[in-house]
Amino acid sequence: MTSRVVITGIGIVSPVGLNRATTWKHLVAGKSGIDRISSFDTEGFRTTIAAEVKGFDPEGTLGKKQARRMDRFTQLGAVASLEAVEHSNIKIVPENAERIAVMITSGIGGLMTLSEQMIVLQERGASRVSPFLVPMMMPDMASGQVSMMLGAKGPNYAVVSACSSGADAIGLAFEAIRRGDADVVLAGGAEAAICPIGVAGFNSCHALSTRNDEPQKASRPFDSNRDGFVLGEGAAVLVLESLDHAMGRDAEPVGEMVGYGATADAYHITQPAPEGEGGARAMKNALKQAKLQPEEVDYINAHGTSTPLNDKFETLAMKSVFNEEAYKIPISSTKSMTGHLLGASGALEAAISVMATYKHCIPPTINLDNPDPDCDLDYTAHSYRESAVRTAMSNSFGFGGHNTSLIFQGFEE
């Protein structure tokens, strides 16, 4: 018999808050975390805005020595993991360590470290390149470092599927618990690619917004005037646990995961498949696994990147899955406030979806001033909405044609 899988802890470090509570508070208030880039000189860049994590002090939490041996994405993932573990009130000891897994991913990995050490190589020579370059830049290192930091000895890996990575990490954690491979999994994503080469690279493929004069209005999913996504950074980690294990230690679940669907477009390296058919199949697969009918979904946290094709095709995908029910379901894109956290976005939005079922509140899509006629669903524009959210779906789609859909419910014994 497959295990029910519950969420007992959530940890977040985001552009709108350094922890779970602050992030939720600011999302509900419609506060944007997007501003002019402060971490490097943007002269000569077409895009000069991003959703940075401001005021982050990894050394204060992790210690100076440990923090300096981590790329920023790993620091973010480690701090989010510590909050998630504290929230779940789980104790990792030798007796349970082998049944606790870590699956924290990154779409890009240690891009900051790699770009910095390339400069060292060019300016100071090969002998001056840091011995920590390779372990700091590898995308599995947030997962590895968290495992070592906590003493978790179960399965440990990082699945990479571009902007679906964080969602797939959570999906695979869900499946691992259902199979009996682990009792507990720390799963999520971490990303930190706001650096010159990261911004330049996304500019070169015309993916980023260039609304530099109005940073907080730049991310505008489903709006007629959207012109690209805003690069964000941060991390989110969930503690997923078998219900039996959670009840055995008197844990208090904040939600339950019931469905996971993943598909491939097999179409284009950056563009979604026509009509969003790959995303639609992911949603259908998640609903099938959850044994839910479309009308039972109370909220959808859309991928909603603020790019022309994604928003249009995701809308078409939702219509093809939910039919007339699509017009009745509240939807929002929290990327309007957080920007796009790439490989961490699916994890952050999964956490937000769980919190929506727990708080019975739907965060808004801000900046939706002139809705695109092709995007004519209920996107919860401008202001949050109190609602009895029993079931929430979270969508994530990525370069390379990856599509992932997760479904969460409020926990009921």
Distance of CA 396 to the CA centre of its chain: 8
Same-domain pairing of 264 and 241? no
Q: What tokens appear for 128 in the block?
A: 């001056």
Write down the pLDDT at residue 175: 98
Same-domain pairing of 230 and 326? no
Instruction: Give φ, ψ of 118 to 5 degrees.
Output: -65, -40
Within a domain: residue 354?
A: yes
pLDDT tens per residue across span 264-273: 999 998 888 9
Same-domain pairing of 220 and 344? no
Domain stop point among 248, 272, 306 = 248
Active site residue 303: yes
Return the closest-CA partner of residue 104 out of 63, 153, 145.
Answer: 145
Q: Contact 389/404 with Cβ under 8 angstroms? A: no
Q: Is the pTM of this model over 0.95?
A: yes
Same-domain pairing of 271 and 229? no
Find the catalytic residue in 26, 87, 340, 402. Answer: 340
* CATH label of the domain that carries residue 402: 3.40.47.10
Write down the pLDDT at residue 1: 56
Same-domain pairing of 78 and 127? yes
Active site residue 163: yes
Within a domain: residue 254?
A: no
Same-domain pairing of 30 and 78? yes
> Among all chains, which residue has been given the structure tokens 């990261």?
198
Distance CA 74, CA 192 (A): 9
pLDDT tens per residue across span 344-397: 999 999 999 999 999 999 999 999 999 999 999 999 999 999 999 999 999 999
Domain stop point among 229, 248, 267 = 248
Find the catalytic residue in 163, 195, 361, 375. Answer: 163
Number of domains in the chain: 2
Residue-number span of the structural domain to which 196 is assigned? 7-248
Side-chain-side CA neighbours of residue 130 (13 Å): 18
Within a domain: residue 2?
A: no
Write down the pLDDT at residue 270: 87
Same-domain pairing of 202 and 296? no
Cβ neighbours for 57, distance < 8 A, ≥ 6 positions apart:
none
Distance CA 186, CA 9 (A): 9
Domain stop point among 248, 274, 291 = 248
Same-domain pairing of 204 and 348? no
Write down the pLDDT at residue 77: 98
Active site residue 206: no
Within a domain: residue 253?
A: no
Find the catalytic residue in 26, 245, 303, 402. Answer: 303
Mean pLDDT per 10-residue run, the chain (413 residues)? 90 98 98 98 97 97 96 98 98 97 98 97 96 96 98 98 98 98 98 98 96 98 98 98 97 98 94 92 98 97 96 97 97 98 98 97 98 97 96 96 97 89
Write down the pLDDT at residue 3: 85
Within a domain: residue 321?
A: yes
